A = this chain, B = another copy of it.
Amino acid sequence: LVQNLTEKLIKKLDDFVLKSGLKRSDVRNKILEVIVKKARHFTIADLIPVLQKRYPDVGRATLYRTLPIFVSSGILQEGPQDPLGQTYYELAEGEHHDHIVCLDCREIFEFHDDQIEKRQLAVASSMRFSVENHGHVVYARCQDLSR
Closest to A122 in B: B113
Which residue of B119, B124, B137, B143 is within 8 Å of A140 (Cβ)? B124
Most buried by B among A124, A129, A132: A129
A129 touches B113 (CB 8 A): no
Q: Is A144's beta carbon under 8 Å from chain B?
A: yes
A138 touches B143 (CB 8 A): no
Which residue of B109, B139, B144 is within 8 Å of A132 (Cβ)? B139
Contact with B along A81-94 (1 / 0, CB 8 A): 10001010000000
Q: Is A18's beta carbon under 8 Å from chain B?
A: no
Q: How far apart sit A102 and B134, CA to CA, in the bound complex (Å)?
A: 11
Q: Is A116's beta carbon under 8 Å from chain B?
A: yes
What secondary structure prevails in chain A residues at the interface with B? strand
**How many monomers of this protein are in the complex?**
2
State the interface size on chain A (CB cutoff 8 A): 33
Closest to A111 in B: B123
Contacts A111-B124, A127-B100 given; indicate if A134 touches B141 (C-beta within 8 A).
no
15 A-B pairs (CB sep. < 8 Å): A100-B127, A111-B124, A113-B119, A115-B116, A115-B119, A119-B119, A129-B138, A129-B141, A129-B142, A131-B138, A131-B140, A134-B138, A134-B139, A135-B137, A135-B139
Interface residues of chain A, those whose CB is within 8 Å of chain B, are 81, 85, 87, 100, 102-103, 109, 111, 113, 115-116, 119-120, 123-124, 127-144
